Structure 1
Amino acid sequence: MADRTVITFGTYDVFHVGHVRLLERARALGDRLVVGVSSDALNISKKGRPPVYSQDERMEIVASLRAVDDVFVEESLELKREYIVEHKADILTMGDDWKGRFDEMADICEVVYFPRTPSVSTTALIEHIANR
């Protein structure tokens, strides 16, 4: 059987255990894990603020993890299909906060949504730190 490539995407800002668990679950589905790290510009357009850590720093953090085989910059949510094809992904994984959003990709790969880690949210962590 051919190697199976899994692809996932995220900001991975203020890296926490929820990120680790999601990436490890994604990697367990295949032989190779490729991660699209959202660009600074994409995060500003999605969340109205820049990430705490720069795109390069976030990519370095994600690339250093044993579960991750390759990282690239995700420039646009609308390019998911192109990224999947470019990286020859067999499986797309996302957190279940995106459930249903990428079901149309099922024509080119399997789509898996993972439950989020309870009580862990990057946004909530940033707000907690900012309000101290």
Structure 2
Amino acid sequence: MNTRVGYVPGVFDMFHVGHLNILRNARLACDWLVAGVVSDERAAVAKGQPPVVPVGERLEIVRANRYVDDAVIEDVDEKLEMWERLHFDVIVKGDDWRGTPKGDKLERDFASVGVEVVYLPYTVHTSSTMLRQIIGERLAAAR
């Protein structure tokens, strides 16, 4: 039997229900799920600010999730570079990537190596960005 390996990258900062949803649903797309936890440096470039929770702790949290079989640090610019390391069969992203320039590039890159791109519903009511904003507002109001 061939094992279908999935890869789901993310920052996974301030772990919340949106992270749980994508990990749970990503697991349905494969037999073995590897989560790529984006490094502090790469996350700062992508989000414009460093994560609240350092990469070692984020890796430990994600690795402990029951839907995840393995977790690794994603410390490269291109997702295809992670495929070169791991040789997964499917990559999972939130559907907020679908139809965007970065999603189109992801699809082109992975089509070239036979990897399926699966989009899962993005949890719109919760994100680390939203949590960061709410915390900032509450701290400001408490001053």
Q: What TM-score do you get using the length of structure 2 for normalisation?
A: 0.86
* Distance in 1, Cα, partners of 2:112 & 2:45: 28
* Distance in 1, Cα, partners of 2:121 & 2:16: 15
Deviating above 6 A after TM superposition, structure 1's stretches of 4 or more consecutive aligned residues are none
1:84 aligned partner: 83
Shift of 1:88: 2.0
* Distance in 2, Cα, partners of 1:3 & 1:120: 32
5+ residue gaps, structure 2: 139-143
* Distance in 2, Cα, partners of 1:91 & 1:26: 9
**1:125 equivalenced with 2:124 (yes/no):** no
Shift of 1:106: 2.1
Shift of 1:57: 0.4
Q: Which letter does structure 1 place at the counterpart of 2:30?
A: G
**Matched ranges for 1:1-132 at <5 A:** 1-78=1-78, 80-99=79-98, 100-101=103-104, 102-104=106-108, 105-108=110-113, 109-132=115-138
* Distance in 1, Cα, partners of 2:41 & 2:12: 14
Shift of 1:126: 0.8
* Distance in 1, Cα, partners of 2:83 & 2:59: 18
Q: Structure 1 residues 44, 118: closer, same or farther in 2, change over 3 A?
A: closer
Q: Which letter does structure 1 place at the counterpart of 2:77?
A: L
5+ residue gaps, structure 1: none
* Distance in 2, Cα, partners of 1:51 & 1:34: 21
* Distance in 2, Cα, partners of 1:11 & 1:4: 23
Shift of 1:115: 1.4
RMSD between aligned residues: 1.2
**Larger-Rg structure:** 2
Shift of 1:10: 0.4
**Identity of matched residues, %:** 42
Shift of 1:82: 2.4
Shift of 1:50: 1.1
* Distance in 2, Cα, partners of 1:107 & 1:46: 24
Higher alpha-carbon deviation: 93-102 or 2-11: 93-102
